[in-house]
Amino acid sequence: MSVPVTVLCGELGAGKTTLLSALLESTDREIAVLVNDVGSVNVDADLVEARTDLRTGEEVVALENGCICCSLGGELSRSVIQLWKEHDFEYLVVEASGVGEPEPIARQFVRGPAGGPYDLDAVVTVVDARRFHDRFAAADAVDGATDDAAVAADESRDPPQRQGPDETGSRPLGDLLLEQVEFCDLLVVNKCDLVSETERERVVGILETLQPRAEIVTTEYGALEPDALLESGRFDLEAAAESAGWKRVIEADAEDRDDAGHDHEHDRGDGGHEHDHGDEEHEHDRVHGDHDHAHPPERYGIEVDTYHRRRPFHPERFLALLADLPAGLVRAKGLSWIAGRERQAITMSYAGTATTLEVTGRWIASLSEERQDQYRKAQNDLSWDEEWGDRETRLALIGRDLSMDDLQARLDDCLLTDAEMDADWSTFENPAPTGMDEFVTVSATSNEPDRVALEAISRDEPRD
């Protein structure tokens, strides 16, 4: 019989180890633990050993100096298989690094070698309520406060600051945190003693929008009943992969466009701005009409919209906008078409503090005619323009207390004008990535918000 597995994710300091230690102390199940830490000393493994009296350390397999979902991916499979062969236990808990993405870990237990002896039961993400609120919900917190405690907390706290990429030049930690939120079955909002009731509700509201499928529980000091984490039967790989709020919004938008029998073509006319926000298809009742799963909890001031255009962005204007996005924008993600990158399908991912542009594939229109025909026959519903093929920008926008119309207009101003459409696009200064899995990170500088922070634009080697 396969051993059930829970994967425990969350940013550094969210309380994963406290939660895990409490779990080991409160259950009679024989649980094996695999702990991953990126430091030279595995603090989490040491803490688990100390809190659970595992004096020999044999039940803890600590993978140091790397992330189990990328550089040590093979070692993860080998470690858990060896653990299964050499020990008898009823359950496995994998505590992932705070900078680990959960989806590659999950796939190893579903479609990798570890899928034989193990059965993935749930992916759990732990969220620090205080830090999450300050990062994603605090832009206008005082205005929406309904109790004295919330106002006092907001007045005593330093204003949230935009952050650039981490010291390694890798993707921003905020982006990784939202990846952990968007791919999970259970969200544990921890450290709720550090936020007011109003702030906690804001956090829950944003999490519901980012990940509509997951169950959300709130707690303090990692206190949670074992049954909430073990043998829940929550995990479904395909459902988890498609359950992120931004994906659902884009899918609902595409379905509505198909049902309407037409697509939105943005026309700048003679270079002017022609966009009627009253009747255009991005209107919220169109996006949300019959799609309850995409409808945000409006009582928290959260709004969701889509942006779809078949005209490319000017690279310089687009990156300048990314360096000065509105503070109320929580999440923006989807495919973007950038002039001068006619082959590269670039995923744009904004996570409250910085934006990552990453080449994640090629436009079908950039392939040979023979291969284009093959793809188009296999995808009958593929949206196609006779001149530009499948090249397009399609973004999901999730924000709190901001004007989506203003943001849409600013994005429109980044599109090529008619004159620029006829120009040589290779002459544009273009820091956008070019290679598969190459990425560029853009963040705003707090003292000079009107220019692109060039020091925060980084290229990285292809990731595993």
The one-letter amino acid code at 18 reads T
For residue 124, what are the β-bridge partners?
A: 8, 186
Residue 368 above 50 pLDDT? Answer: yes
Instruction: Give the integer Cα–Cα distance in Å for 422 and 417.
Output: 9
Helix (H) or strand (E) holding 409: helix 404-413
pLDDT band at 55 (very low <50, low <70, confident <90, very high): very low
Closest CA relative to residue 164, chosen from 435, 440, 437: 440
Strands (E), 60-149: 60-63, 91-95, 118-128
User: Ramachandran region of residue 462, left (φ > 0), alpha (ψ -120 to 50) or beta?
Assistant: beta
Contacts of 215 (CB under 8 A, 6+ apart): 185, 186, 187, 234
pLDDT of 102 strictly over 60: yes
Residue corresponding to tokens 């979902």: 69
Percent of the chain with pLDDT over 90: 42
Exposure on the CB side of residue 217, measured as CA atoms within 13 A: 18
Q: What is the pLDDT of residue 461?
A: 40
- Flag whether pLDDT at 138 surpasses 80: no
CA–CA separation, 91 and 85 (whole Å): 14
Name beta bridge partners: 128. Answer: 190
Q: Would you kindly state where each structural domain of the chain is located, as residue ranges?
A: 3-236, 245-456
Average pLDDT over the chain, rounded to whole? 77
**70-79, 89-98, 149-158, 371-380, range with the lowest pLDDT:** 149-158
Q: Quote the CA–CA distance of 342 and 390 in Å, as a whole number.
A: 11
Q: What's the CA gap between 131 and 146, in Å, rounded?
A: 20
Q: Find the length of the chain.
A: 464
What's the CATH fold of domain 245-456?
Hypothetical Protein Yjia; Chain: A;domain 2 (3.30.1220)
One-letter amino acid at 233 equals G
The whole-number average pLDDT for the span 283-312 is: 62
Nearest to 132 by CA among 48, 40, 199: 199
* 13-31 tens-digit pLDDT: 899 988 988 888 888 888 8
User: Residue 72 CB: number of other CB atoms within 10 A?
Assistant: 21
With contact defined as beta carbons under 8 Å apart, do 320 and 452 qualify?
yes
Which of 215-219, 398-402, 429-433 is predicted least confidently?
398-402
Quick one: pLDDT at residue 57?
52
Report residue 94 as tokens. Answer: 């994998």
pLDDT recorded at residue 161: 34
Distances (CA, A) of 251 to 161, 213, 261, 294, 349: 32, 15, 15, 9, 17
pLDDT tens-digit profile of 239-263?
888 888 888 888 887 776 655 554 4
Count of CA atoms in the C-beta half-sphere (13 A) of 200: 17
- Edge-to-edge, what's the strand order for the sheet holding 118-128? 60-63, 31-36, 91-95, 3-10, 118-128, 186-190, 215-218
* Residue 38 φ/ψ, nearest 5 degrees: -90, -5
pLDDT in tens, 160-214: 333 333 433 456 778 888 999 999 999 999 999 999 999 999 999 999 999 999 9
Average pLDDT over residues 354-362: 92
The Cα–Cα gap between 2 and 440 comes to 41
Q: For residue 217, what are its two tokens?
A: 């529980």
Number of H helices, E strands in the chain: 16, 13
So what's the pLDDT on residue 448?
Answer: 35
Backbone angle region of 297, left / alpha / beta, with phi > 0 → left and psi within -120 to 50 → alpha: beta
Location of structure tokens 């093929």: 389
The residues near 40 (Cβ < 8 Å, ≥ 6 apart) are 64, 65
pLDDT at residue 300 is higher than 60:
yes
Per-residue model confidence (pLDDT) at position 331:
92
Separation in Å, CA 61 to CA 95, 160, 226: 11, 37, 21
Q: Which of 2-6, 12-16, 56-60, 448-452 has the highest mean pLDDT?
A: 2-6
Strands (E), 275-328: 302-309
Classify 3-236 by CATH class.
alpha beta
User: 420-455 pLDDT, tens per residue?
Assistant: 999 999 999 999 999 987 889 998 643 333 333 333
Instruction: Please tell me whether residue 423 adopts helix, strand or coil conformation.
Output: coil
Q: Cβ distance 139 to 353 under 8 Å? A: no
Q: Which of 439, 388, 391 is nearest to 168 (CA)?
A: 439
Average pLDDT over residues 30-45: 74
Amino acid sitting at position 331: R
Calpha distance 133→352 (Å, rounded): 11
Greater pLDDT, 351 or 457: 351
